[in-house]
A and B are shown apart, each in its own frame.
Chain A
Amino acid sequence: MIYRETGQFKSTYENDHSIFPLIQDKIAFNILMLIAFLFVPLVIDSYWEKAILIPFLIYSMAAIGLNILTGYCGQVSLGTGGFMAVGAFATYKLMTIFPELNIMIIVLLSGVITALVGIVFGLPSLRIKGFYLAVATLASQFFLIWLFNKVPWFYNYSDTGQITVSERTMFGIAVTGANAPSYATYLFCLILVVGLGFAAKNMIRSKIGRSWMAIRDMDIAAEIIGVSPLKTKLSAFAISSFYIGIAGSLYFAVYLGALEVTESFDIMAISFPVLFMIIIGGLGSMLGSFLGAAFIVLLPIFLKNVMVDLIGLSAVTAKHFEITTWGLLMVIFLIVEPHGLARLWSLAKEKLRKWPFPY
């Protein structure tokens, strides 16, 4: 009844091509943004910050990155953890080399550095596809982690091999380091995710996004209409790595504060979960990146609440159940709904359009 497009006419192609063609979607999105920017910072506490919102935002960023590469350009990658490590270490090195540089610039530069690394590791994609490419990116994951362990220059020759963030401020308020207030770190991540999220959506709905999808769906036909596979694939690797690098940078600087590379950017800690996110959320969907990230962040908390606090299982058993639930969900999603939560959402919207009079 409320959710329908009747009476909304577009008189220009610009309007018709907007991100939210339906006025209801636009209003809902604006309300969501108002809550996120104005209301949440007032009430946020350390638990919500560290356990839910910051991980959600960072994983969303990584998921957007991987979705650009895998969902839109069709190049499977298992190297997410490695690229996030590049972002984290780039941030660390930039911070120590240029102590005066603004943290926002450092984060964005880390993204650029990761993009360059991404181009190098994207080169095999010009020759190989599918599973074989997945294995090649897997190699990049292991190589990068090995590199950051092996070369002490990356962790400034510290004894533990750990990297630790120092305090940096934006407008006089700390956003990194132990003393950063919850609302500051949250807003810092939120601004980056929303800004770059829009940038990603814009790229996807214009020329570069269409070339990615053309390469994904039928690379031969794409070549015949003049899409260069070289430029298109490498641009997907670069831009995807840029997003993943920024996610890694935030993961290190804002979220963890101090980390050790093998543990934090392990394939089981990052690469697979982010891949799960875009599969469960929806391959080739911006909304899917966010839904998947939310799902992956919230499910363990939900399961823990139910199993440990409600049923009274031991934490270890609950952890096992959690892993099993993952596996089960992956299989179910791949078989029943390969387009993920985003597809379920659009089906629900389709139903909502006709509700309550389906005829």
Chain B
Amino acid sequence: MSLDKIQSIPYGKEVIKIKNISLAFGGVKALTNVSFDVKKGEVFAIIGPNGAGKSSMLNVINGFYKPTSGQINFAGEDRKEMMPEFAAKSGIARTFQNIALFKGMSTLDNLMTGRLLKQKQNFLMQALYFGPVQKEEAYHRDKVERVIDFLDLQAIRRTPVGSLPYGLQKRVELGRALAMEPEILLLDEPMAGMNVEEKQDMSRFVLTANDEFKTTIVLIEHDMSVVMDISNRIVVLDYGKKIGEGKPSEILKNKAVIDAYLGVAD
């Protein structure tokens, strides 16, 4: 099981190696020969202007898109592509740019879905709902309640998420990902459309998750002050190509990055 493999990798070593990944939709090249490594336990940011291929990159990592060429080395194993179910089982969780919550379900139920892979009882036992099933439900409920405490979601536990404000929905989505107890957490613009206070809260949650649960975080974000503050390393994409990689201080000085963001003077 690759979850064990990930867990056995020491902190600071590469857990995902992206090797020359290209992705094309017909004639549109979303990604061209992108390579970078994500090290275990770090906060890794992918940045770039609109349409640079950042979300496509995340989709390749968790198997939602199949790369046209290139390889992903995941937990020490080379593979051509990932599968969503395999990624989920191997401890990769993610959030989406446009919130992808289960709108008809309560906050609690949404978080409980994050535990689905860990629930082992079969449906006949569930239909009878005695001893072991009840214990299992209570065990996972306890885990979910910890996430609820951590993210301050107590007051909206029973509220259907469709009726929650945007900022809270983003937080519930992070909660659902955290309920999976992931090894690697992919966050697609977790702070988009938030005000400063909400961004501060979200940054705190991300950093605490990284710090306390030792979750590796791969994050896409447009707010540069946030990215520079919280990430350990950054890769910059532009038009599907990698134009820079390094520590935030290095990226700030990188000529190609500045040109991509601000344009080049003639």
Contact = CB atoms under 8 A, between A and B. Distances in A.
Interface string A1-28: 0000000000011101100000000000
Given A210-B109, A213-B109, A17 B141 contact: yes
Interface in B73-130: 84-85, 87-89, 93-94, 96, 100-105, 109, 112-114, 116-117, 119, 121, 123, 126-129
A14 B113 CA distance: 18
A224 interface: yes
A12 B121 CA distance: 20
A225 B93 contact: yes
B171 interface: no
A203 interface: yes
The DSSP consensus for interface residues of chain B is helix
Interface string A181-218: 00000000000000000011011011111110110111
B interface, size bucket = 35 or more
Interface string A296-340: 000000000000000000000000000000000000000000000
Contacts of A12: 138
A226 B101 CA distance: 14
A205 B117 CA distance: 16
A203 B62 CA distance: 29
A222 interface: yes
A13 B129 CA distance: 14
Contact of A221 (B96, B128, B134, B142): B96
Nearest to B129: A202
B112 A210 contact: yes
Given A217-B105, A218-B101, A221-B100, A13 B85 contact: no
A224 B84 contact: yes
A17 B144 CA distance: 13
Given A216-B104, A239-B123, 20 more contacts: A13-B137, A14-B138, A17-B138, A199-B128, A202-B127, A206-B121, A206-B126, A206-B133, A207-B116, A207-B126, A208-B123, A208-B126, A209-B126, A211-B116, A214-B116, A217-B102, A217-B105, A218-B102, A226-B84, A228-B85
Interface of B: 62, 64, 84-85, 87-89, 93-94, 96, 100-105, 109, 112-114, 116-117, 119, 121, 123, 126-129, 133-134, 137-138, 141-142, 145, 176, 180
Interface of A: 12-14, 16-17, 199-200, 202-203, 205-211, 213-214, 216-218, 220-228, 235, 239, 284
